[in-house]
Structures are given as C-alpha cells and as structure tokens.
Structure 1
Amino acid sequence: MRSVADLEFFITLCKVDSLAQAGRDLDISSAAVSKRLSGIENALGCQLISRDSRSMSLTADGHVFLEYAYSIINSFDKMTAEIGRKKNTPEGVIRINAPFGFGRKHMAQFISKFVEEYPKIEFKLYLSDHPLSLTANSFDLGVRFGELADSGLHARKVASHKRVVCATPGYLKKYGTPKHPNDLKDHSCIMHNQNEEIYSAWRFENNNEYFNIRIKGNLVSNDGGTVLGWALNGHGIAIRAEWDVYSYIKDGTLIRIMEDFSLPNADIYILYPYNNKNLPLRIRIFIDYLIKEMQAMPFLD
C-alpha cells in the first residue's frame, strides 16, 4: 500500500466484473490495471483478487482489504471535510506571549472583547518579563516592541508607538525640569531592567544628533508597572511607552518632558511562526482585529 489513491483504485476495481471494464472506467489499459493491482498485492504479500481473462472475484484477504479500504476512505473524507470546515470557521486555540504590562493592561481586554464575537476560539495568554521563543514554546503569536531581532519569524507591524520621558509635577517643581538630555545627569532616574539588561544609558536623537546619557538613580526594576508606580510616587524621571502613561499625562498626573528629543521607537509588532499563505483563519482574523484595536489606541501626538 502506497497511498489513499490505491484504496480508491481497489474500490473501483471491486465494482466491476473484469479488468477490462475497470480499465475503461479508469481510462487506462487493462494491462495497467493488472500491473497496479499486482503492485498492491506484492506490497501486502497476498492475493486480493482471483482473475482470469473473463472474470475476477475477491479472495478472503480481498474481502478484508475492501472492508478496511471503505473505512479508511470514509475517515479520510471526514477528515478532509473537518479541516475544510475549520478553514472557513474560526475556532481552535490561540497561544500568545506578551509582555507583563501590555498584556495585563491591553491584551487581556482585547481578548475579552474578541471572544464575545468568536466564542469558539480559545485563548492561552502567557505573560513574561522577556520575550519567549514562539517555536520552542508552541506559541501562535508574540507581541513585541521596538526593533526586532532577526528570528526568522513572520512579523506584522500593528501600530506606531513612542516612548516618552516623564515625571510628576511635584518632582519637577522640587528638582527642576531638564531641558536637554545632558541635564539628566543631575537627576534621579528610575531604571527598567528589561530582557536581563539594565537601561542605565538613555539614547536620544534631535535633528540627526545623538546623545547617549549615562543616568543614575537608586531605583531599578524589571517590571514596567513598578517603574511607573515609582514615577507616580515622585521618586524620579522615567521612560515609559505612550500606552502606559497616556492617561496620566492627559490628566496632569505626569508631565512629559524634553519633547524635542526622541527616543528609540516602541512600535508594536505581532510575530507568528506561520507563512502568510497557510495562516490559520482564527489567527488571521485575530491579527486583523488587533491591528484595528491597537491603531485606535490613544496617542499623545
């Protein structure tokens, strides 16, 4: 046995009275029919059909083989129909890896809203303080920010986003408002230890002029929410993504400073280990939904 096609061939053969008739139905010669049947029998090591020039009949092994052939073809047809149905009906599991802060604040809400419309799609959201390998951990999607490493995965940019420098009005009133990156040397800066790297040097750009500033401060955390909390408590100056501080800046709880100097972008990307041609429907629909939701997120500019 070599393929499902051999089973279909055998079933067709059993519906007629002779090899010649089978050849006419299959549009091949009777010699080709005989050769293919012999190939199947040789592979199985038994005779399936007794035949002569005028007639043929199933052997005992042939009856067993025919019964299983029908069963296998029926199962194969059901499998094909089920896969086809799933290709046209969004259902199944989506496994996602996202950063803690963004995952808690936004991804959880995006998913909550999405499952109301697509209740047959299941989600497994894994939050981490550093990006996890999608392939090694069997994730369908990963949320990433800023410049992407060359992982060989497919990536889709879902929204442009920025990082901003901010502090409370109380801190700035007490210690002054820095106007230039060099002024940060005289301030307490809250550092974010991200992806096992402490960002003790902040990079700025203005009119193609770049500034790498070594900062200082007595507060460091690998959790963005903790960094934000310390900034809100007036302990110093912090760099945060727009999505994290938008509401605080809009209501005046935090003040955005040094707006003329840009930081490395925090553009939002979705990564996935599928090629676009074979992207499952449930994932394609969810990515399109994320793009719509993320592009509607409030920006400061």
Structure 2
Amino acid sequence: MDTLKDLKFYILLCREGSLSAAARKLDVSPAATSKRLAAMEKRLGVQLLNRHTRAMSLTAEGELYLQEAQLIAARLEHLAERLDPHRGEIRGALRINASLGFGRKYLAAVVSAFVRRYPAITVEMHLSDHPVDLVALSFDIGIRFGELPDSTLHARKIANHRRLLCAAPAYIEHAGTPRRPEDLTRHNCLILRQNEEAHGIWTFQRDDERLAVKVAGNLSANDGESVVAWALDGHGIVQRAAWEVEPYLRSGELVEILSRFALPQADISAVYHYQHFVPPKVRAFIDFFAAHVETATLPSGPTPL
C-alpha cells in the first residue's frame, strides 16, 4: 500500500469534484477511480465521500482526511525543497480562487508579475461568481472581500477598502439626488444577487446611527460588472467596491452618492486553510500580493495595512 499515492489521489479527486473528472485527469476509467476510492475507504474503515448522480460531497471524516492529506503533502513538498540543491527557491504548484471581476481586472496582472519573479512556480487561477470551499476543492489561497464568515480558515487582511453608492449624472439629473439613505426607497436601485446575503437590503452607518434600507429596482443580476454597466447607462443607483467604480468616478461617468454615510467595508483579505505549516509558496504569494496593493496597483480606494 502506497499511502502517499493515496493522499495525492484523494486531493486530486476532491479538487476535480467528481470521479469522472478525476478519471480523465489520471487517464483511467471512472470505474477504476471508483474502485480505488472504495479500497481506500475500506482500509480506513470510514466513508470519505457521499456519491451523488452528478456530484459528490465530503463526509465529516472525508473533510478531516483532506485537511490532513493537504498538510502532509505540503510538508513533504517543503522537505523536498529543503533537500534540493536549489534550496530557498520558491517553487511548486499554487491554486488561487477569486471573484470574476477582481480576478480579470487586477489579480491576473499580479499572477503574471509573480511567476515572472518566481519562474519555478506554476499557478492555476480559478475565478468564480461566488466564494468556493477552499478545502474541499484543494485551493491554496482565496481572495475575499468584506466581513469573512466564521470558519477554521486563516486570513490576512491585505487592505482596508470602501464600498460606494454611485449613479450616472444623467440618472441624477432625471431622478434627483438622495440626501439620506431613506430616500433610496424612491429611487431605482440596481440589485446585485450574490452569495447568501439578503438581496436589496443596504445598510449605512453615520456616527452611532445605523440604518437598514430595503431598496428595489427593475434590474438585478448575479454579476457585478453587469450592474455597473447598467449604472453607466443611467438606469439607477449601484453599490459597489471602490476598486470597481473609482475609474468611472474619476472620469465623471459616475458620481458618488450619500458619501457622508458609510457602507459595510469591502476589505481585501487573503484566506488559506493551512493550520500549523504554511508552505513557502503560499507565504510568498500573499506577501507579493500585499506589496502589489501597497504600491497602488489598485485604485485609490484601498488603504494598505
């Protein structure tokens, strides 16, 4: 029995998300992949995965096994690096998850500069319209915005970052300028439907005053770029992070609204699942990303820490 091969097989299986996808990656039949998983579970005496018709999910034991497998694999990779004559060189495969818009506009450039700086690194960047389970899908790093949910993951805040309300001058000329958050109930608001957040509830803070306003409008989407595009076309008021709208504010295509009232922060964080040992490649990328933000790669919204 080759335990290390089993660990690597299980990590790959979880990363690919299905037996058939893992089989294609390994160039074997799905039946062979299923048989290998069943043999592993029999040896361990536990069920690692729940099999469904089109997908699979981790059991509690399967999640624990994955966490430990990733830790062992990372330690072995680090040991190999220490024994390597090129010791100290940042190397290995790095898997990063981020949102579609931020990934396309900013993170891709960071990755490009990172692999130029560390040519022995390979990066797989996966962009999604909602945060994914980093552990279950074997991602090393996730780039997240705003308040982070309670979890066993570790996070490093990269920068403070604001959310803004804005609209096109043409919309303001037609509909008027809201003076207080309550005024938004009389305006067309462009709703972003993402994650598990309450849709159409916008919260504001000014001194000790906190307001939650139920807004509505005739346009909604699960994609941030779409609602910004609608705002640019004069359809209504949009709430977005500064990195996405500040170029349009500088050009005058959008104007900020209710700037005296603070929206929930969109702070930028790098999230990772490693507990006691963080691989050098992960530390290197997070440091590199933080330095990239600090040198004003993003719009003026973030305040680097």
Q: Distance in 1 between matches of 2:292 and 2:165?
A: 25
Deviations 1:96-142 (A, max 9, x none): 11111111111111111211111211111111111111110000000
Identity within the alignment, %: 45
Contact 1:89–1:281 under 8 Å retained in 2: no
Residue 175 and residue 111 in structure 1: after superposition, are their counterparts in 2 closer, same or farther (change >3 A)? same
Contact 1:204–1:261 under 8 Å retained in 2: yes
Instruction: Give the equivalent residue in structure 1 for 2:131.
Output: 131
Report how far residue 199 of structure 1 moved: 2.2
Report how far residue 235 of structure 1 moved: 0.7
Instruction: Give the equivalent residue in structure 1 for 2:290.
Output: 291
Residue 208 and residue 252 in structure 1: after superposition, are their counterparts in 2 closer, same or farther (change >3 A)? same
Normalized against structure 2, the TM-score is what? 0.70
Instruction: Give the equivalent residue in structure 2 for 1:233.
Output: 233
Q: Which has the larger radius of gyration?
A: 1
Q: Distance in 2 between matches of 1:117 and 1:224?
A: 31
Instruction: Give the equivalent residue in structure 2 for 1:91.
Output: 91
SS of residue in 2 equivalent to 1:143:
strand
Instruction: Give the equivalent residue in structure 1 for 2:175.
Output: 175
Q: Which one-letter code corresponds to 1:142 in the other structure?
A: G
SS of residue in 2 equivalent to 1:205:
strand
Q: Which one-letter code corresponds to 1:281 in the other structure?
A: P
Q: Distance in 1 between matches of 2:113 and 2:81?
A: 27
Instruction: Give the equivalent residue in structure 1 for 2:102.
Output: 102
Report how far residue 266 of structure 1 moved: 0.4
SS of residue in 2 equivalent to 1:278:
coil
Instruction: Give the equivalent residue in structure 2 for 1:143.
Output: 143
Q: Distance in 2 between matches of 1:284 and 1:87?
A: 16
Deviations 1:25-80 (A, max 9, x none): xxxxxxxxxxxxxxxxxxxxxxxxxxxxxxxxxxxxxxxxxxxxxxxxxxxxxx95
> Where in structure 2 are the equivalents of 1:241-260 lying within 5 Å?
241-260=241-260
SS of residue in 1 equivalent to 2:166:
strand
SS of residue in 1 equivalent to 2:259:
coil
Contact 1:98–1:131 under 8 Å retained in 2: yes
Residue 97 and residue 87 in structure 1: after superposition, are their counterparts in 2 closer, same or farther (change >3 A)? farther
Residue 82 and residue 200 in structure 1: after superposition, are their counterparts in 2 closer, same or farther (change >3 A)? closer
Normalized against structure 1, the TM-score is what? 0.70
| Root mean square deviation of aligned Cα | 1.7
Deviations 1:210-229 (A, max 9, x none): 11111110111000011111
Q: Which one-letter code corresponds to 1:279 in the other structure?
A: V
Q: Distance in 2 between matches of 1:264 and 1:96?
A: 25
Contact 2:97–2:143 under 8 Å retained in 1: yes
Residue 87 and residue 246 in structure 1: after superposition, are their counterparts in 2 closer, same or farther (change >3 A)? farther
Aligned residues: 222
Contact 2:164–2:240 under 8 Å retained in 1: yes
Report how far residue 274 of structure 1 moved: 1.2
Residue 300 and residue 103 in structure 1: after superposition, are their counterparts in 2 closer, same or farther (change >3 A)? closer
Contact 1:187–1:237 under 8 Å retained in 2: yes
Q: Distance in 1 between matches of 2:110 and 2:81?
A: 29
Q: Distance in 1 between matches of 2:104 and 2:197?
A: 22
SS of residue in 1 equivalent to 2:193:
strand
Contact 1:87–1:281 under 8 Å retained in 2: no
Contact 2:246–2:299 under 8 Å retained in 1: yes
Contact 1:190–1:217 under 8 Å retained in 2: yes
Q: Distance in 2 between matches of 1:188 and 1:263?
A: 18
Report how far residue 285 of structure 1 moved: 1.1
Q: Distance in 2 between matches of 1:287 and 1:81?
A: 22
Residue 139 and residue 168 in structure 1: after superposition, are their counterparts in 2 closer, same or farther (change >3 A)? same
Residue 198 and residue 218 in structure 1: after superposition, are their counterparts in 2 closer, same or farther (change >3 A)? farther
Listed as ranges, the gaps of 5+ residues in structure 1 are 1-78
> Where in structure 2 are the equivalents of 1:135-284 lying within 5 Å?
135-197=135-197, 199-275=199-275, 278-284=277-283
Q: Distance in 1 between matches of 2:233 and 2:108?
A: 26
Report how far residue 198 of structure 1 moved: 5.1
Residue 115 and residue 256 in structure 1: after superposition, are their counterparts in 2 closer, same or farther (change >3 A)? same
Report how far residue 165 of structure 1 moved: 0.1
Deviations 1:126-180 (A, max 9, x none): 1111111111000000011111111111110001001000000111011101111
SS of residue in 1 equivalent to 2:256:
strand
Report how far residue 84 of structure 1 moved: 3.4
